[in-house]
């Protein structure tokens, strides 16, 4: 079974600053997908960014980027120029290439302060 | 497009009661999922379906049942509700499982069993 660990239950960052959220995972698979989902207070789950394990290049989406270290099984999310609207729970998730569903970590609550 | 629609948004049940959480999507997605989210925990997969007539258990299926008679609908049935089933329930769908990474989530159902 795959496990996803987010070791930071809560984090805070000031507006315009940069913050990094950590995620590690455990798997024996060689090919898989990793994701970061955002859950704002509205409870809606929103895909932030996605990484294919076979790609060495780190994924980026505007102010969001990842640091994917396959050997270390690490997948951190960097948010640059933090905005108040980034306040949310952030979930790291894993999926096997042959799988059907996501395995989620417990989440990191991020608070962006003025 | 409405996306993924869940009803009801909130519900209080008494121990031993039964109910059905409704989920419908209008994106013609083959894959549909039910997750539950407990406080301080990530989302855990209850059941999933890869197409009409096909369902399978996820990580925490006990106490629940599902059916998938059409592509659009994927109801979740709770029989003999227990306090341990107090949670937020999310329905989600995707076009090709997680291959493209984007699960579309409903807005969730907050269920309390008292």
> Which pLDDT score is estimated for B95?
81
CB contact (8 A) between residue B97 and residue A102: no
Q: CA of A77, closest CA in chain B: separation in Å?
A: 16
With CA atoms as reference, report the closest residue to B33 among B66, B1, B69: B66
Backbone angles phi, psi at A70, to 5 degrees: -65, -45
Is the confidence at residue A71, as pLDDT, over 80? yes
From A40, which residue of chain B is nearest by alpha-carbon distance? B107
From B34, which residue of chain A is nearest by alpha-carbon distance? A101
B107 CB neighbours in chain A (<8 A) are 42-44
Query: Which residue carries 């089933």 as its tokens?
Result: B85
Query: Which residue carries 């690490």 as its tokens?
Result: A74
Between B95 and B58, name the one with better pLDDT.
Answer: B58
With CA atoms as reference, report the closest residue to B34 among B93, B79, B111, B94: B93
Q: CA of B25, closest CA in chain A: separation in Å?
A: 15
Tokens standing for B94? Answer: 């995707």
Is the confidence at residue B100, as pLDDT, over 70? no
Tokens standing for A106? Answer: 């417990």
**Virtual torsion, Cα B40, A66, A74, B38, nearest 10 deg:** 10
- Pick from B4, B23, B39, B42 the residue to mutate for testing the A interface (most A CBs within 10 Å): B42
CB contact (8 A) between residue A9 and residue B40: yes
Is the confidence at residue B97, as pLDDT, over 60? no
Is the confidence at residue B101, as pLDDT, over 90? no
CB contact (8 A) between residue A47 and residue B43: no
The pLDDT tens digits of the residues spanning B41-87 come to 889 999 999 899 999 999 999 999 999 999 999 999 999 999 999 99
Peptide bond before residue B8 is cis, with ω within 30 degrees of 0: yes
pLDDT band at B1 (very low <50, low <70, confident <90, very high): low
From B4, which residue of chain A is nearest by alpha-carbon distance? A44
């Amino acid at each position: 079974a795959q496990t996803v660990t987010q070791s930071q239950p809560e984090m805070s960052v000031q507006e315009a600053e940069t913050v990094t959220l950590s995620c590690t995972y455990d798997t024996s698979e060689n090919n898989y997908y990793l994701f970061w989902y955002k859950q704002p207070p509205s409870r809606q789950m929103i895909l932030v960014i996605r990484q294919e394990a076979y790609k060495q290049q780190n994924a980026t989406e505007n102010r969001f980027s990842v640091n994917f270290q396959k050997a270390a099984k690490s997948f951190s999310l960097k948010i640059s120029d933090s905005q108040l609207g980034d306040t949310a729970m952030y979930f790291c998730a894993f999926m096997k290439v042959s799988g059907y569903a996501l395995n989620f970590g417990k989440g990191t609550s991020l608070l962006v302060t003025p | 497009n409405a996306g993924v629609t869940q009803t009801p948004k909130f519900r209080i049940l008494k121990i031993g009661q039964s109910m059905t959480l409704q989920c419908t999507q209008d994106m013609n997605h083959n894959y549909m999922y039910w997750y539950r989210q407990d406080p301080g925990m990530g989302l855990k997969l209850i059941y999933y379906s890869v197409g009409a007539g096909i369902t399978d258990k996820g990580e925490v299926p006990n106490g629940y049942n599902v059916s998938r008679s059409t592509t659009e609908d994927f109801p979740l049935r709770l029989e003999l509700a227990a306090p341990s089933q107090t949670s937020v329930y999310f329905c989600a769908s995707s076009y090709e499982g997680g291959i493209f990474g984007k699960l579309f989530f409903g807005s969730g159902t907050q269920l309390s069993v008292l």
